[in-house]
Amino acid sequence: MTDQCIGETRTMSYLLHPPLLDESGVASAAEWYVNGFAQRSGVSVKLDLPKEKLRLPPAVELTLFRILQESLTNIHRHSKSPSADVCLTIESRRAVLSVKDAGTGMPEHFLVRFHRDGTGAGVGLTGISERVRELGGHLEINSSSSGTTVMAVIPLTPEQIEYVDISATAKQHGSAA
């Protein structure tokens, strides 16, 4: 039982802040998280990530990762959707994360309160909305009886985007082997 508790604690720790997020960035961490989420929840997730390897400021990467976690958790707990679509795009002036399900949708009164004053949609969505606002961005939630879309838009400057040379990284790791 102790071993099981230790294992679950380690898993929770990795889920809260996976080392991959710091080591390889939000796209790699998202891919890892989505694969594990799909296995644990049974929800099929289609993932669309940038083709090039890049890094963003740590606060932006962490915020995007938290939005992904919260959105997928809400899909699993509330939406009754068998699937989700996750799309992360990085442009020269913004990062956009969209998480869409085909579930039952949010109750109208929750959505109205959230759009009016940022409350009423639960602690998780309120928290990620605040994180996004702190970075100068905005969170959009659209919902109907055919599903919900959560979209976060975070402004960036071109200088904040670091393109990672995969071949140099591979050579580093290859020479150590």
- Name the residue type at position 33: Y
Q: Which residues of 49-61 are buried (b: 16+ CB within 10 A; e: fewer)?
A: bbeebebbbeebb
Task: Give 48-75 pLDDT, tens digit per residue.
Answer: 999 988 999 999 999 999 999 999 999 9
Summary mean pLDDT of the chain: 85
Q: Find out if CATH 3.30.565.10 is the number for domain 2-176.
A: yes
Residue 148 banded pLDDT, cuts 50, 70, 90: very high
Domain ranges of the chain: 2-176
Task: Give 89-141 pLDDT, tens digit per residue.
Answer: 998 899 999 999 999 998 888 878 777 776 656 677 888 889 999 999 999 99
By CB atoms closer than 10 A (0-12, 13-18, 19+), residue 63 is: buried
